[in-house]
């Protein structure tokens, strides 16, 4: 037990981002707090806020669920500061590490990182567009067929920029939905039905069969329809993009467990190597940048999915043992 705790607390990301860490045992007893957590806890204690007890109650609630996908995240505002709590689980010995993330500090780090990434992503298509246009302008006697080829390539890069800008806008909404979005009662089944309908033509062109199984006519939940649609557009589109003619993409409703709808989205395509499973939800992460650009990906799709699910207090995870292809499991809260 002590050796495992020592290993956890030496993880570099805790020091880099100065994250607060507390570890509970299976009975909800605190067995470790790092220095960042103690400082935060002392600060909140002065405002009569018992952070230990808040996290313990969340853990008890999590343990009462019949099915759980870790890590689970919760958001809470304390003393005007927005926090995110990430609950993880280690089977043996059975302990529950909890990261407490100050969203203000996290956002500053992410803004710096995403600015660098955006600059890089914009540079490639802009350089290509400029090159094509300069070639055309520098060769007034160029054959029409060749000129059309260069203009077509420039247009493809413009479309790529449009996709990148659209994805960034959706990611911004999903990351900080409180500024833009209002949850309301909606029908999750209908949102998924419409999404599949809208992607049918694209799937047919790619020779991919998209299936829906087990869904009732209504799955009421409180959420933002645009953001929920973005979740399933991205997951199904990825299945289509990275599959071959004759493969399939399936969206299955598994049931409702402890107040959460459980849904699977899986394909029989190329799959994601297991060594990348921990990175696929990061902004701009690509397994193969050449393959992603060829299929039109921006590297933001799964990050949008993760943040949109988090905005709805749900969970998403990739099933590691599934092959061939890729399988995601989602949990979204049902309406009362």
Report the pLDDT value the prediction gives residue 68, as an integer from 0 to 100.
58
Evaluate whether 14 touches 37 at the Cβ level (below 8 Å).
no
Question: Within this chain, do residues 23 and 95 fall inside the same structural domain, yes or no?
Answer: yes
The 3-state secondary structure of 3-47 reads HHHHHHHCCHHHHHCCCEEEEEECCCCEEEECHHHHHHHHHHHCC
Question: Within this chain, do residues 193 and 303 fall inside the same structural domain, yes or no?
Answer: yes
**Structurally, how many domains does the chain consist of?**
3
The first and second tokens of residue 223, run together, are: 């959420």
Q: Are strands 248-257 and 209-213 parallel, antiparallel or unpaired?
A: parallel
Question: Within this chain, do residues 193 and 323 fall inside the same structural domain, yes or no?
Answer: yes
Name the domain boundary from 103, 120, 155.
Answer: 103
CATH classification at residue 272 = 3.30.565.10
- In this structure, the dihedral spanned by the alpha carbons of residues 308, 289, 103 and 39, taken in order and rounded to 10 degrees, is 130
Report the pLDDT value the prediction gives residue 289, as an integer from 0 to 100.
46
Residue 286: what are its φ and ψ, rounded to 5°? -130, 140
Question: Within this chain, do residues 303 and 246 fall inside the same structural domain, yes or no?
Answer: yes
Name the domain boundary from 55, 72, 103.
Answer: 103
What's the mean pLDDT in 39-54? 87
Evaluate whether 208 touches 170 at the Cβ level (below 8 Å).
no
Evaluate whether 101 touches 81 at the Cβ level (below 8 Å).
no
What's the mean pLDDT in 39-59? 86
Question: Within this chain, do residues 145 and 97 fall inside the same structural domain, yes or no?
Answer: no
Distances (CA, A) of 97 to 90, 241, 262: 8, 36, 24
Question: Within this chain, do residues 196 and 327 fall inside the same structural domain, yes or no?
Answer: yes
Report the 10 Å Cβ neighbour count for 193. Answer: 16
Furthest-apart CA atoms within the chain: distance in Å? 80
Residue with the bigger pLDDT between 333 and 160: it is 333
The first and second tokens of residue 153, run together, are: 């390539």
Question: Within this chain, do residues 123 and 187 fall inside the same structural domain, yes or no?
Answer: no
The domain of 75 spans 2-103
What's the mean pLDDT in 68-86? 72
Q: Could you tell me what percent of the chain has a pLDDT over 70? A: 67
Report the pLDDT value the prediction gives residue 230, as an integer from 0 to 100.
84
Question: Within this chain, do residues 10 and 97 fall inside the same structural domain, yes or no?
Answer: yes
Question: Within this chain, do residues 131 and 24 fall inside the same structural domain, yes or no?
Answer: no
Name the domain boundary from 59, 75, 103.
Answer: 103
From 53, 25, 20, select the one nearest 35 (Cα to Cα): 20
The first and second tokens of residue 234, run together, are: 């991205």
Question: Within this chain, do residues 194 and 147 fall inside the same structural domain, yes or no?
Answer: no
Question: Within this chain, do residues 163 and 72 fall inside the same structural domain, yes or no?
Answer: no
Confidence of residue 192 (pLDDT cuts 50, 70, 90): very high
| pTM for the structure as a whole | 0.54
- Does residue 156 have a cis peptide bond before it, meaning omega lies within 30 degrees of 0? no
Q: Decide if pLDDT at 38 tops 80.
A: yes
CATH classification at residue 73 = 3.30.450.20
What's the mean pLDDT in 317-334? 81
The CA distance from 190 to 204, in Å, is: 21
Question: Within this chain, do residues 156 and 211 fall inside the same structural domain, yes or no?
Answer: no
């Amino acid at each position: 037990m002590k050796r495992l705790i020592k290993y956890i607390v030496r993880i570099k990301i805790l020091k880099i981002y100065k994250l607060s860490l507390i570890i509970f045992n299976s009975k909800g007893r605190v067995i470790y707090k790092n220095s960042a957590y103690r400082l935060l806890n002392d600060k909140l204690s002065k405002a009569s806020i018992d952070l230990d007890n808040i996290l313990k109650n969340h853990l008890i609630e999590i343990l009462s669920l019949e099915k759980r996908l870790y890590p689970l995240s919760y958001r809470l505002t304390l003393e005007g500061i927005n926090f995110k709590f990430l609950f993880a689980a280690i089977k043996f010995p059975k302990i529950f590490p909890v990261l407490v993330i100050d969203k203000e500090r996290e956002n500053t780090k992410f803004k710096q990182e995403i600015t660098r990434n955006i600059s890089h992503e914009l540079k490639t298509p802009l350089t290509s567009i400029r090159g094509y246009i300069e070639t055309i302008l520098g060769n007034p006697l160029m054959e029409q067929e060749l000129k059309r080829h260069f203009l077509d390539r420039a247009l493809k890069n413009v479309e790529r920029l449009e996709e990148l800008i659209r994805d960034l806008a959706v990611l911004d909404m999903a990351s900080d939905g409180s500024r833009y979005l209002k949850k309301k009662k909606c029908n999750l089944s209908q949102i998924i039905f419409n999404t599949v309908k809208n992607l049918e033509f694209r799937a047919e062109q790619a020779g991919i069969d998209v299936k829906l199984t087990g869904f009732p006519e209504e799955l009421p939940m409180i959420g933002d329809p645009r953001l929920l649609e973005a979740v399933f557009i991205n997951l199904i589109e990825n299945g289509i993009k990275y599959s071959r003619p004759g493969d399939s993409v399936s969206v299955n409703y598994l049931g409702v467990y402890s107040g959460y709808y459980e849904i699977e989205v899986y394909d029989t395509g190329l799959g994601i190597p297991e060594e990348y499973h921990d990175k696929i939800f990061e902004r701009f992460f690509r397994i193969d940048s050449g393959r992603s650009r060829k299929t039109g990906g921006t590297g933001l799709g799964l990050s949008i999915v993760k943040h949109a699910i988090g905005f709805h207090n749900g969970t998403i995870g990739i099933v590691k043992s599934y092959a061939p292809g890729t399988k995601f499991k989602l949990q979204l809260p049902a309406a009362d």
